[in-house]
Amino acid sequence: MINSWVIYLIFAAAMFFLGLYCLLTMRNLIKLFIGIEIIGKGVSLVILSTGWARQSIYLAQSLVVTYIVIEVSLVATALAVIINLYRTNQSLDIRKLTRLKG
């Protein structure tokens, strides 16, 4: 069980790295948001695999369910913000958002 826990943790760290790389390098707003989603998936994998290894799967499950519900709310709000930004700027490029500075 411990060995597969280590494998899950390595996998989750790889997902975290993927999301972070996407956040640092991409320029498209929707892709940045996909990066945030991937980071969130990695974190929920860590929570659930740790609960699984420590035999407290129910608590981990309830935390993950809470996170998923919050994630949906976050996605809906963020995509509404992205659509509004697109209608204002006619582009999804984050470099064009520098006009926002005062």
Partner 1 sequence: MAAILAKDLLKSAVALAVASLLLGLIFFQMGAPYAGVFEISVVAGLITVLFMLTIALTKQGDDVRESKVVKIAFPVFFVAFILIDILVMKGILARIPAIAATPESGTFGEVLWKERSFDLIGQLAVILAGVLAVLALFRKRDHHD
Q: How far apart are CA 82 and CA 87, in angstroms?
A: 9
Picking from 41, 38, 18, 19, the residue whose alpha carbon sits closest to that of residue 49 is 41
Which residues lie near partner 1 (CB under 8 A)?
6, 8-10, 13-14, 17-18, 21-22, 25-28, 30-31, 34-35, 37-38, 41, 44-45, 48-49, 51-66, 68-77, 79-84, 86-87, 89-93
Q: d(Cα 10, Cα 99) in Å, to the nearest integer?
A: 40
Of 56 and 98, CB closest to partner 1: 56
Q: Tell me how far, at minimum, the Cβ of 68 lies from partner 1, in Å.
A: 5
